[in-house]
C-alpha cells in the first residue's frame, strides 16, 4: 500500500498494518514521538489497535528533551 | 558632471522615501500584531527568548507560565540577568520584556503546567508556543492542546542540543494546528548541553512561525 509519511509518499509491502507494526517495519526507535493519522492524534495506547490504510496521511514528530 | 550631481540627489531622496515606507510598514505590522494574544508554556531557553522576539514584534498580550526560579546556570542561554538569580522566572521575564516595550500586556503565572490547567491558563490565546525542557512534557501539551483547544495552533520546539549543523534546524508544518521547530534529532545530555546559539535559533524560529500565522489572520 501507499501512504504519505511526513509529506513523502512511501510504498509499504504490507497492507493495513498497525501503527506498532509500521514503527517496527520502518525501524523507528525514538522513545518520544507524536503520531497523527489524517490529522487525528493517535495516543500511545492505541498504537497496536490503530490500522494504517492505503492512502493515509501519517505524520510523525520526534520529541527531544531540551528547551 | 551634471549626472554626477543629479543621481546622488535623487538617490538621497529615494532613500529617505524608502526608509519612511519601511517605517510605515513596520507600524502597520506592529498595529496588526498588537491585536493578538500568544501563550508561552515554559520560560527557559526557548520560552524566554521567544517571548523577547515576540515582544519586539509588537504582540499585544503574552501569557507566560513556568514554575521555576532563575539559576545562575540559566544565564548561558536564557533571557535573564545576573541580578535576577533567585527570582521566579515569570516575574523576571515580565520585568525584562517590559524594558523592551512598556506597553505590552503580560500575564505571568508561577505555576506547574499540566493537562488540566493548560486549557484554562491559555484560554483565549490565538497561538501557543511549547517551550518545555522535557520530552514527556512536550507530549503532554500536544495532547492537551489538540484535545481541549481544537483549532489553536501549537508551535513545538524539538531538537536543539549542542552546537553546529545549524542548517539542520527547520520549521515544519504538520497541519494548521501543529508546527515543529528544531532538528528533531539532537537531545540534550551531559555530553550535549543546550547552548545559546542553537536554543536561540529554535526560539526565534518558533516566534517566526507565530508571526507567520498571525500575519495571515485578518
User: Are A67 and B157 a contacting pair at CB < 8 A?
Assistant: yes
Residue at grid coordinates 496521511 = A57
d(CA B132, CA B121): 16
Residue of B nearest to A31 (CA): B135
d(CA B177, CA B152): 6
Count of A–B CB contacts within 8 Å? 76
Does residue A62 surpass a pLDDT of 80?
A: yes
Q: Give this prediction's pTM.
A: 0.91
Q: What is the pLDDT of residue B76?
A: 97
Q: What is the pLDDT of residue B181?
A: 98
Q: What is the mean pLDDT of residues B158-185?
A: 96
Give A47 to chain B, closest Cα distance, Å.
Answer: 15
Q: What is the pLDDT of residue B120?
A: 98
Does residue B96 surpass a pLDDT of 70?
A: yes
Interchain CB contact of A41 with B (< 8 Å):
yes
CATH of residue A57: 3.10.20.30
Interchain CB contact of B55 with A (< 8 Å):
no
Note whether B217 and B191 are within 8 A (CB): no
Q: What is the pLDDT of residue B5?
A: 60
Note whether B141 and B171 are within 8 A (CB): no
- pLDDT tens-digit profile of B6-59? 667 788 888 888 888 888 789 999 999 999 999 999 999 999 999 999 999 999
Domain count, chain A: 1
- pLDDT tens-digit profile of B100-137? 999 999 999 999 999 999 999 999 999 999 999 999 99
Q: What is the pLDDT of residue A27?
A: 82
N- to C-terminal Cα distance for chain B?
Answer: 51
Does residue B2 surpass a pLDDT of 70?
A: no
User: Does residue A67 fall inside a structural domain?
Assistant: no
Does residue B200 surpass a pLDDT of 60?
A: yes
Test the B interface: residue of A33, A47, A63 with most B CBs within 10 Å = A63
> What percent of chain B clears pLDDT 90, i.e. is strictly above it?
87
B2, containing H or E segment: helix B2-33
* Structural domain that includes position A22: 2-62
Amino acid at each position: 500500500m501507499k501512504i504519505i509519511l511526513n509529506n513523502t509518499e512511501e510504498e509499504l509491502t504490507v497492507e493495513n498494518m498497525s501503527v506498532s507494526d509500521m514503527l517496527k517495519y520502518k525501524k523507528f526507535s525514538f522513545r518520544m514521538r507524536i503520531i497523527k493519522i489524517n490529522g487525528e492524534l493517535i495516543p500511545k495506547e492505541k498504537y497496536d489497535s490503530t490500522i494504517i490504510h492505503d492512502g493515509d496521511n501519517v505524520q510523525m514528530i520526534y520529541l527531544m528533551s531540551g528547551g | 558632471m551634471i549626472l554626477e550631481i543629479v543621481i546622488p540627489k535623487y538617490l538621497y531622496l529615494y532613500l529617505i522615501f524608502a526608509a519612511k515606507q519601511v517605517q510605515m510598514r513596520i507600524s502597520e505590522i506592529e498595529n496588526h500584531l498588537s491585536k493578538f494574544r500568544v501563550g508561552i508554556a515554559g520560560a527557559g531557553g526557548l520560552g524566554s527568548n521567544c517571548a523577547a522576539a515576540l515582544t519586539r514584534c509588537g504582540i499585544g498580550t503574552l501569557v507566560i507560565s513556568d514554575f521555576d526560579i532563575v539559576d545562575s546556570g540559566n544565564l548561558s542561554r536564557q533571557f535573564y540577568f545576573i541580578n535576577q538569580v533567585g527570582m521566579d522566572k515569570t516575574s523576571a521575564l515580565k520585568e525584562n520584556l517590559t524594558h523592551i516595550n512598556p506597553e505590552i500586556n503580560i500575564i505571568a503565572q508561577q505555576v506547574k503546567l499540566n493537562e488540566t490547567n493548560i486549557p484554562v491558563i491559555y484560554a483565549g490565546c490565538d497561538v501557543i508556543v511549547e517551550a518545555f525542557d522535557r520530552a514527556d512534557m512536550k507530549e503532554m501539551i500536544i495532547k492537551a492542546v489538540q484535545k481541549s483547544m481544537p483549532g489553536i495552533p501549537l508551535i513545538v520546539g524539538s531538537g536543539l542540543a549542542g552546537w553546529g549543523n545549524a542548517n539542520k534546524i527547520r520549521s515544519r508544518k504538520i497541519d494548521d494546528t501543529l508546527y515543529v521547530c528544531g532538528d528533531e534529532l539532537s537531545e540534550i545530555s551531559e555530553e550535549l548541553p543546550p547552548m545559546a546559539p542553537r536554543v536561540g535559533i529554535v526560539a526565534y524560529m518558533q516566534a517566526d512561525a507565530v508571526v507567520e500565522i498571525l500575519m495571515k489572520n485578518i
